[in-house]
Amino acid sequence: MSGSPAVVMRLVASAYRVAEKAGAIVRRVLHSGELGIVEKTGANDLQTLADRLAQQSICASLSKRFPKITIIGEEDLPVEEVSGDLMETGQEEEILHKPCPAEYRELKEEEIVVWVDPLDGTKEYTEASMCLRRQTEARTPHNRPDTSKPHSTALWLLDNVTVLIGIAYGGRAIAGVINQPFYNYQLGEGAALGRTIWGMVGLGAFGFELQEVPGDRRIVTTTRSHSNKLVIDCVDAMEPHEVIRVGGAGNKIIQLVEGRASAYVFASIGCKKWDTCAPEAVLQAVGGKLTDIYGNAYRYDANVKHMNSTGVLATLRNHEYYTSRVPQSVLQALKSE
Ligand SMILES: Nc1ncnc2c1ncn2[C@@H]1O[C@H](COP(=O)(O)O)[C@@H](O)[C@H]1OP(=O)(O)O
Ligand SMILES: [Mg+2]
Ligand SMILES: [Mg+2]
Ligand SMILES: [Mg+2]
């Protein structure tokens, strides 16, 4: 590599550290126990103090270093000065040393759109918090929480939570950073929590071990908290051997690239561009695909509508099988405009 790193590599290197900081904020708010929950459109569409602080931290940090980039965050927040302790100025050195794919070398700041989901899986985050609170209240010297059985509690929900920073150019998701703040939660008190996964189309994806679901087993992952008849009909039509119901778009893409699920199927409105941009880039970087249920790609230009109105279908392999199985009734109900 000669000269200074390309703008987009510097942006990903910053986004990596910014996502780590946001992950730390998400952990800190959970442990404070004061979530400051606000209902947006309803009980399954929540915002917490962690969503607010993480978004402020991400947007202020990135826009300070890259003032000409368009940044679109999920949360609608009042414009105010962001306190210094929320600012992150670091860059992940290792990313700066990676070769930028030729087609992105000359990108200018003003051509880039960044989609920010400060906390994906907010519903599950709030439920995990309630679970922790109950455990703490029940704790006496003789009645300690049994963390050796995480599935007997709702603590596994912590892994549904991610921080998503997606980078788009020319309407396409080209790079993404996914921080999973509670990764390794099973190790209990004192363990270092969290990991960061990132990827770039044409370069690859890092921070995890790529695995596929063995053989021709079809394991479908879908929503846990935003289900309806269409969602269920569409999952059933895939003739899955197994269905996993978990929260978060970022979390479900991690399941695909780590060989725990073969397809993410969500035949409903609800998911938005900030939910899919980073996951799509990471998945595509390892040869996977994220589309709507028709098999059509979403665009990520600054002026697109935020809602992914025609659902989400994501796979590492065999995308056509899944698009071909979507029932006509579901396609009709989620008709593209
Ligand atoms: N009906 C909905 N209302 C609000 N957010 C939704 C809805 N459906 C999906 N989402 C967003 O998409 C993510 C993936 O969906 P699901 O968890 O249901 O599989 C959710 O975690 C949520 O993101 P967020 O938690 O960032 O608000
Ligand atoms: Mg939300
Ligand atoms: Mg989200
Ligand atoms: Mg969110």
Altogether, the residues listed in the chain come to a count of 337
The Cα–Cα gap between 139 and 137 comes to 5
H or E element, residue 52: helix 49-65
Candidates 173, 310, 163, 161; CA nearest to 230 is 310
**pTM, to two decimals:** 0.96
Q: Is 120 helix (H, G, I), strand (E, B) or coil?
A: strand
The yes-or-no answer to whether 7-203 and 219-333 have a common fold is no
Which pLDDT score is estimated for 190?
A: 86
Q: Averaged over 1-19, what is the pLDDT?
A: 92
pLDDT in tens, 192-233: 999 999 999 999 999 999 999 998 899 999 999 999 999 999
% of the chain beyond a pLDDT of 90:
88
Bigger pLDDT: 268 vs 138: 268
Marked catalytic residue, from 41, 45, 48, 51: 51
Q: How would residue 335 be classed by pLDDT, with cut points 50, 70 and 90?
A: confident
In this predicted structure, the answer to whether residue 262 has a pLDDT above a threshold of 70 is yes
Task: Find where tokens 């009909």 sit.
Answer: 233
Q: Averaged over 270-277, what is the pLDDT?
A: 98
Ligand closest in space to the Cα of 73: 4
Tell me the CA–centroid distance for residue 225 and ligand 4, in Å.
Answer: 14
Pocket of ligand 1 (CB under 6 A): 44-45, 74, 117, 120-122, 223, 225-226, 247-249, 270-271, 275
The Cα–Cα gap between 209 and 195 comes to 12
219-333: which CATH topology? D-Maltodextrin-Binding Protein; domain 2 (3.40.190)
What is the β-pairing status of strands 172-180 and 162-169?
Answer: antiparallel
What does the domain layout of the chain look like in residue ranges?
A: 7-203, 219-333
Q: In this structure, what token pair is assigned to residue 112? A: 């880039």
Q: Which amino acid would we find at residue 99?
A: P
CATH of 7-203 among 3.30.540.10, 3.40.640.10, 3.30.1360.120, 1.10.357.10: 3.30.540.10
Which pLDDT score is estimated for 150?
A: 46
Which pLDDT score is estimated for 151?
A: 46
The mean pLDDT value of the chain amounts to 94
pLDDT in tens, 161-190: 999 999 999 999 999 999 999 999 999 888
CA dihedral 248, 252, 257, 260 (to 10 degrees): 130
Contacts of 198 (CB under 8 A, 6+ apart): 12, 15, 16, 95, 175, 176, 177, 178, 205, 206, 207, 282
Q: Which residues are annotated as a binding site for Mg(2+)?
A: 74, 117, 119-120, 275
Q: Averaged over 262-272, what is the pLDDT?
A: 98
Catalytic status, residue 51: yes
pLDDT in tens, 68-86: 999 999 999 998 889 999 9
Helices and strands per DSSP (H, E), number in the chain = 9, 13
Which pLDDT score is estimated for 216?
A: 87
Which pLDDT score is estimated for 80?
A: 86
Q: Averaged over 40-47, what is the pLDDT?
A: 95
In this predicted structure, the answer to whether residue 145 has a pLDDT above a threshold of 70 is no
Q: How would residue 2 be classed by pLDDT, with cut points 50, 70 and 90?
A: low
User: What letters, b where the CB count within 10 A reaches 16 and e where it falls short, cover 293-317?
Assistant: beeeebebeeebeeebbbbbbbbbe
In this predicted structure, the answer to whether residue 139 has a pLDDT above a threshold of 90 is no
